[in-house]
């Protein structure tokens, strides 16, 4: 392949990766009233407006809550699950792994519809609770996978050494296993956080009066008001994600775990 | 034996349906350094893990210091185990690795510090307290693992191939170190090895294992001089082992009349016990190498290969040439089938 060809492919790839990001940033900087690219003049007023929209504040808080606590809940279930799958000879471990991975494979839109039709409506579950359960379930596969891969690198005899020195099995887990997989846990948390925060398909079905996650709220905002503030908000969120991943990468070489 | 400190009685150890160690009986005396010697897969690690409490026996009893500990969990047995891989805690400093067990005992801080420092001094690691295991050499990690077990003052210290991950020079050094620590502390030690020279050099007694069973048990001198079986003889350096039929030796390659009546079913000679340069048999030299105090020959004979060591004052026989050799009765070790 010629050099020119290689540069061309690289250029196209980068354009597709970074292009949309740049477009959103600049679209949000428009001085005009409608969402457009290229922007009509430059200003930061839409970035400022984002913070004044009441429903954005509420949905941002909800999304933050779901991303943080949904992911924590997923880790609370996922870490012991990964440990058990990794360390014990569980009959049907392969099947369990497949089931755990199901939410990655099954389209979110089906998960959302099914939950709404057979969980939320018949049991009259509060939307917030339904969202929490859904986000936990959607993040769980990532938690199990990332934690599993760091457990694989940890030899089982270290725990046995701890037991011989007087630890109970639980103490060996907290004193030896956990500290040695904390990088993997942090990586799983970040991955789960970002996944939950950006989740659209399932959350689309799980919204009620005044209860919406941020991406869903942005969608409905756009149906009514087509101003550049949505672009401004998207850009802010993208910066937040990039910042989190960047810090994590700096702190512990995040990309090793994903 | 009444003076047994550790008694394994009718111990059967299995992995699911596979029996790794069937019906083992072994008594270990207080303060001795005993070696479990045997080829890979003969059940040495399995036996260790059972003594440590990491593997519940399918059958049998384990008594340590007069108490039946068969059902006592590993964290309550008061036994030390140095893993083949060392199994150090990578997230803790050397000091904290050694202090780990003491902290679990909730000893006063000052006592933990004193014991840990003494333990590190015993293995010559003073000054390395702040290092992480990953920042230490193989030999230092080995010492650290030893110190971590020693500070707990275990009733019995088990060591699983403690020297096998070290290079040859360090292995000899740590051999002496291990022996010194054992004599200094007086701790009963069981160490596993597949290296007979290590077992001979270190152990007070050697348990030679084969397929989960004890093949022979004795002092290094006993095992070295008087192996009872072909397996034991092979392990102890009797490289020429042949079946006896009437007054001849037999191998897969052929037969060789001995010239004297042998009473045993099998006879074995060390290379040093084979005479070179004189004798009733002839062989062709197919390999010859200088080994310092002697010369090592490989001879092709009616029995196949014969390994023979000749004193250095015997004139060298070139490769390809025939030479007379002798399988004398007085250096032959009679073995059971
Ligand atoms: N976890 C295990 N599962 C099944 N079989 C095992 C396991 N560990 C060891 N074995 C078998 O038990 C026998 C003894 O193994 P081991 O005690 O490790 O031998 P050694 O330490 O003498 O090399 C071997 O045949 C080995 O294949
Ligand atoms: Mg072994």
Contact A157 B74 (CB under 8 A): no
Contact B75 A163 (CB under 8 A): yes
Pocket test of ligand 1: the residue of B18, B48, B58, B209 to mutate, having most ligand atoms within 8 Å of its CB, is: B18
Average pLDDT on A50-64 reads: 90
pLDDT value, residue A242: 85
pLDDT value, residue B177: 86
pLDDT value, residue A253: 61
Task: Kindly list the residues from chain B whose CB atom is less than 8 angstroms away from the CB atom of residue A162.
Answer: 89, 100
The residues spanned by each domain of chain A are 1-43, 53-256
| Per-residue DSSP letter, A208 | B
The segment(s) of chain B belonging to CATH 3.40.50.300 are 4-227
pLDDT value, residue A183: 86
pLDDT value, residue A257: 55
How many percent of chain A have pLDDT more than 70? 97
Fold type of domain B4-227? Rossmann fold (3.40.50)
Measured CA to CA in angstroms, residue B329 lies from B269, B324, B332 at distances of: 9, 16, 5
Measured CA to CA in angstroms, residue A94 lies from A90, A100, A101, A138 at distances of: 9, 10, 11, 19
Q: If chain B, 337 residues long, is cut into consecutive pieces of 10 residues, what is the mean pLDDT of each piece? A: 84 94 95 95 95 95 95 94 94 96 95 95 93 93 94 95 85 87 92 93 95 96 95 94 92 90 90 93 95 93 95 91 94 90
Gap between the Cα atoms of B8 and B63, Å rounded: 7
pLDDT value, residue B1: 47
| CA nearest to A180 within chain B | B91
Hey, whose CA ends up nearest to atom 21 of ligand 1? B45
Contact A155 B85 (CB under 8 A): yes
User: In the predicted model, is pLDDT for residue A249 greater than 80?
Assistant: no
In sequence order, which ranges of chain A are alpha helices (DSSP H)? 3-28, 45-50, 54-65, 71-87, 93-105, 108-115, 121-123, 127-152, 157-164, 169-172, 178-180, 182-197, 201-205, 214-224, 229-252
- The CATH H-level superfamily of A53-256 is MetI-like (1.10.3720.10)
Shortest Cα distance, chain B CAs vs residue A157, angstroms: 6
Measured CA to CA in angstroms, residue A4 lies from A11, A13, B202 at distances of: 10, 14, 69
Output Rg (C-alpha) for chain B, integer angstroms: 24
CB nearest to B79's CB, from A158, A164, A176: A164
Q: How far is the CA of B284 from the centre of ligand 2 (A)?
A: 40
pLDDT digits (tens, 9 = 90+) for A231-243: 889 889 888 888 8
- Asked if residues B13 and B58 have their Cβ atoms less than 8 Å apart, the reply is yes
Ligand nearest to the CA of B48: 1
pLDDT digits (tens, 9 = 90+) for A152-196: 888 889 999 999 999 999 999 999 999 999 888 988 998 899 999
User: In the predicted model, is pLDDT for residue A254 greater than 70?
Assistant: no
A·B CB contacts under 8 A: 54
The segment(s) of chain B belonging to CATH 2.40.50.140 are 238-335
Closest by alpha carbon to A183, among A255, A86, A242? A255
Domain B238-335 indexed as CATH 2.40.50.140: yes
Average pLDDT on A194-218 reads: 89
pLDDT digits (tens, 9 = 90+) for A15-53: 888 888 888 888 888 888 888 778 778 888 888 888 888
pLDDT value, residue A96: 81
Gap between the Cα atoms of A217 and A62, Å rounded: 11
- Asked if residues B85 and B144 have their Cβ atoms less than 8 Å apart, the reply is no
Beta-bridge mates of residue B4:
B29
Q: How far is the CA of B6 from the centre of ligand 1 (A)?
A: 22
Q: How far is the CA of A240 from the centre of ligand 2 (A)?
A: 51
Interface of B with A (CB under 8 A): 52-54, 74-75, 79-81, 83, 85, 87-91, 100-101, 104-105, 148-149, 152
pLDDT digits (tens, 9 = 90+) for A108-149: 888 888 888 898 889 888 899 999 999 999 999 989 988 998
pLDDT value, residue A153: 84
Measured CA to CA in angstroms, residue B58 lies from A83, A135, B19, B69, B76 at distances of: 26, 46, 9, 14, 20
Measured distance between the N- and C-terminal CA atoms of chain A, rounded to whole angstroms? 31
Contact B89 A163 (CB under 8 A): no
Residues around ligand 2, an ion, CB closer than 5 A: B 45
């Amino acid at each position: 392949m010629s050099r020119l060809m290689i540069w061309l492919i690289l250029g196209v790839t980068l354009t597709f990766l970074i292009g949309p990001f740049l477009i959103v940033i600049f679209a949000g900087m428009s001085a005009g009233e409608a969402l457009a690219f290229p922007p009509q003049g430059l200003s930061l007023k839409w970035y400022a407006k984002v913070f004044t929209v009441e429903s954005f504040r509420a949905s941002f808080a909800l999304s933050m809550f779901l991303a943080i606590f949904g992911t924590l809940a997923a880790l609370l279930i996922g870490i012991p699950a990964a440990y058990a799958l990794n360390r014990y000879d569980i009959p049907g471990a392969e099947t369990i792994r497949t089931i755990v991975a199901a939410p990655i494979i099954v389209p979110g839109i089906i998960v959302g519809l099914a939950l709404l039709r057979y969980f939320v409506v018949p049991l009259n579950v509060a939307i917030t609770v339904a969202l929490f359960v859904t986000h936990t379930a959607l993040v769980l596969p990532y938690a199990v996978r990332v934690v599993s891969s760091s457990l694989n690198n940890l030899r089982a005899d270290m725990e046995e050494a701890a037991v011989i020195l007087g630890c109970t099995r639980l103490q060996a887990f907290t004193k030896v296993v956990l500290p040695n997989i904390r990088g993997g846990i942090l990586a799983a948390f970040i991955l789960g956080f970002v996944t939950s925060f950006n989740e659209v398909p399932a959350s689309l079905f799980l919204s009620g009066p005044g209860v919406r996650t941020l991406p869903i709220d942005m969608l409905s905002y756009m149906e009514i008001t087509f101003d550049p503030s949505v672009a401004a908000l998207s850009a802010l969120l993208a910066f937040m994600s990039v910042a989190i991943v960047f810090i994590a990468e700096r702190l512990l070489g995040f990309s090793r775990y994903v | 034996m009444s003076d047994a400190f550790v008694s394994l009685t009718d111990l059967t150890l299995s992995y699911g349906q596979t029996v790794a160690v069937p019906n083992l009986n072994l008594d270990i005396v207080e303060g001795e350094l005993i070696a479990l010697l045997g080829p890979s897969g003969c059940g040495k690690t399995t036996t260790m893990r059972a003594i440590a409490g990491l593997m519940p026996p399918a059958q049998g009893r384990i008594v340590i210091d007069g108490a039946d500990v068969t059902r006592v969990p590993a964290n309550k047995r008061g036994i030390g185990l140095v893993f083949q891989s060392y199994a150090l805690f990578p997230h803790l400093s050397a000091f904290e690795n050694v202090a780990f067990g003491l902290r679990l005992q909730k000893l006063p801080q000052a006592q933990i510090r004193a014991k840990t420092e003494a333990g590190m001094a015993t293995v010559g690691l003073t000054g390395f307290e702040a290092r992480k295991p990953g920042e230490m050499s193989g030999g230092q990690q080995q010492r650290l693992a030893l110190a971590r077990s020693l500070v707990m003052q275990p009733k019995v210290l088990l060591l699983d191939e403690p020297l096998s991950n070290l290079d040859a020079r360090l292995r000899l050094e740590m051999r002496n170190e291990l022996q010194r620590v054992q004599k200094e502390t007086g701790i009963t030690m069981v160490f596993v090895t597949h290296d007979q020279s290590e077992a001979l050099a270190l152990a007070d007694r050697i348990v030679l294992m084969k397929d989960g069973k004890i093949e022979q048990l004795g002092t290094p001198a006993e095992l070295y001089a008087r192996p009872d079986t072909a397996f034991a003889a092979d392990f102890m350096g009797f490289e020429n082992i042949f079946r006896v039929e009437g007054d001849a030796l037999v191998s897969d390659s052929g037969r060789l009349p001995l010239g004297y009546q042998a009473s045993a079913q099998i006879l074995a000679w060390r290379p040093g016990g084979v005479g070179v340069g004189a004798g009733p048999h002839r062989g062709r030299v197919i390999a010859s190498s200088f080994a310092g105090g002697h010369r090592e020959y490989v001879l092709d004979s009616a029995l196949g290969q014969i390994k023979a060591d000749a004193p250095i004052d015997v004139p060298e026989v070139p490769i390809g040439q025939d030479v007379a050799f002798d399988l004398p009765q007085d250096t032959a070790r009679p073995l059971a089938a």
